[in-house]
Amino acid sequence: MDNYPISGKSLEKFYHVNGDLLVQQYKKHLSDYSSWEPRSHADKWLLFPGNLGPRLSIDESSLSRGELYTIVTNKDGHGGKGTLVAIIEGVKAVEVSSILRKLPRQARHRVLEITLDMSSTMHAIARECFPNAEQVIDRFHVQKLACDALQELRIEHRWEAINEETNEMENARLEGRKYRARKFRNGETRKEILFRSRLLLFKDPAAWNVKQRKRASVLFELYPDIQKAFALVQRLRRIYSSCKSVAGARLKLALWYNQVNEAGFHSFNSVAASVFAHSTRILNFFNNRSTNASAEAFNAKLKDFRAQFRGVLDIKFFLFRVAKIFAWKE
């Protein structure tokens, strides 16, 4: 239990033991939890100075009853022991920063890079606590904004199609005739095409199967604006995949920004505003092509671990287990 994120209940299936009894034995006798020095404040904050490194990630995650924690991880830990640098209750910049400043100043100042999302709070924490670190916004957060804007446009048209079909059905009823929705050349109705296009709009066209290619062809004929918005999303992806330097990316991103403004899609307004406001942090990606994937993967491990407990009742003991697995080195 010191090395793997597994609950007592999960062990019942494999070893035919009483999981609850095993956990209590581990908690009270087999582990050093009762004498664990940080236990008094573990639910508020935990720091592991020895895990600081030149490349960090910072993110937020919900651990218990929806309460958010700020989590700092070391990329070089690769999701195993030595990964966890800090876990702090809350996401308020002032409060989180006051805890992170307990880490040795010289070690904090040796951090060269920190990846994060677009949260202004995370930026403030990184600036205050790791002043020499280059802040890098994860490419996937930028691309997600564009994908969400595209999906918003699709959903708008879907509601229009639903309302149109509802009106046509009512007219047919009043006229005493049976309603039959028009089917297009791929065998689907307008409403079905819009509903079933969700996944294909997330994909690169090269990854479409035959059915998706037919559906996309009809979709783009019916809705040229969706095709135009899809092209904007694909151009953004190509910028991230093809640009090898900050200078080249800056030029292409500026062109893309102008194309978004010219397209006039209101759903893309927040995307353009975010790109403009965070341009430096976004462009920093092209220095080392660093992402926040390690932080997202770590958060996923925590959520999977938490799910095994069907709710965390003892947050201190849960974080003791987390520290054993992801913080303390052999």
**pLDDT for residue 88:** 97
Higher local confidence (pLDDT), 301 or 88: 88
Residue 151 near residue 93, CB atoms below 8 Å:
no
Closest listed residue to residue 84, CA positions, set 75, 93, 96, 95: 75
Average pLDDT for 62-72: 85
* CA gap 132, 119 in Å, rounded: 19
**pLDDT for residue 310:** 62
Structure tokens at 265: 């899609």
State the residue for tokens 């992170």: 100
**pLDDT for residue 328:** 72
Structure tokens at 142: 């930028």
pLDDT of residue 15 exceeding 70, the answer is no
**pLDDT for residue 222:** 97
CA–CA distance from 22 to each of 31, 107, 272 (Å)? 11, 39, 54
Q: Report all structural domains of the chain as residue ranges with CATH numbers, in order of start.
A: 8-138+291-326 (3.30.420), 139-288 (no CATH)
Q: List the end-to-end C-alpha distance of the chain, in Å, as a whole number.
A: 14
- Burial of 86-112, coded b for 16+ CB within 10 Å and e otherwise, reads bbbbbbebebbbebbeebeeeebeebe
Helix, strand, coil fractions of the chain, as percent rounded to 5: 65, 10, 25
Phi, psi of 55 (to 5 degrees): -125, 115
- Burial of 317-330, coded b for 16+ CB within 10 Å and e otherwise, reads bbbbbbbbbbbeee
Higher local confidence (pLDDT), 62 or 132: 132
pLDDT of residue 128 exceeding 90, the answer is yes
**pLDDT for residue 14:** 54
Strand partners for 134: 113
pLDDT of residue 8 exceeding 60, the answer is no
pTM equals: 0.82
Average pLDDT for 45-49: 96
Closest listed residue to residue 275, CA positions, set 283, 285, 267, 266: 283
pLDDT band (50, 70, 90) for residue 320: confident
Average pLDDT for 211-221: 97
- In three-state form (DSSP H/G/I as H, E/B as E, the rest C), the secondary structure along 226-272 is HHHHHHHHHHHHHHHHHCCCHHHHHHHHHHHHHHHHHHCCHHHHHHH
pLDDT band (50, 70, 90) for residue 20: low
**pLDDT for residue 19:** 54
**pLDDT for residue 45:** 96
pLDDT digits over 160-183, tens only? 999 999 999 999 999 999 999 999
**pLDDT for residue 155:** 97
Closest listed residue to residue 310, CA positions, set 87, 52, 26, 8: 8
Please enumerate in sequence order all residues whose Cβ is within 8 A of that of 216, keeping only pairs 6 or more positions apart, or say none.
197, 200, 205, 208
Mean pLDDT, the chain, rounded, equals: 88
**pLDDT for residue 66:** 74
* CA gap 5, 138 in Å, rounded: 27
pLDDT digits over 178-202, tens only? 999 999 999 999 999 999 999 999 9
pLDDT band (50, 70, 90) for residue 300: confident
State the residue for tokens 């978004």: 260
pLDDT digits over 257-276, tens only? 999 999 999 999 889 999 99
Average pLDDT for 99-122: 96
pLDDT digits over 221-238, tens only? 999 999 999 999 999 999
pLDDT band (50, 70, 90) for residue 29: low
**pLDDT for residue 301:** 83
* CA gap 181, 22 in Å, rounded: 61
Greatest alpha-carbon span in the chain: 81
**pLDDT for residue 7:** 53
pLDDT band (50, 70, 90) for residue 99: very high
Phi, psi of 284 (to 5 degrees): -60, -20
Please enumerate in sequence order all residues whose Cβ is within 8 A of that of 285, keeping only pairs 6 or more positions apart, or say none.
136, 137, 138, 139, 240, 249, 291
State the residue for tokens 């035959």: 210
Closest listed residue to residue 45, CA positions, set 123, 6, 98: 98
Give the SS3 label for residue 218: helix
pLDDT band (50, 70, 90) for residue 210: very high
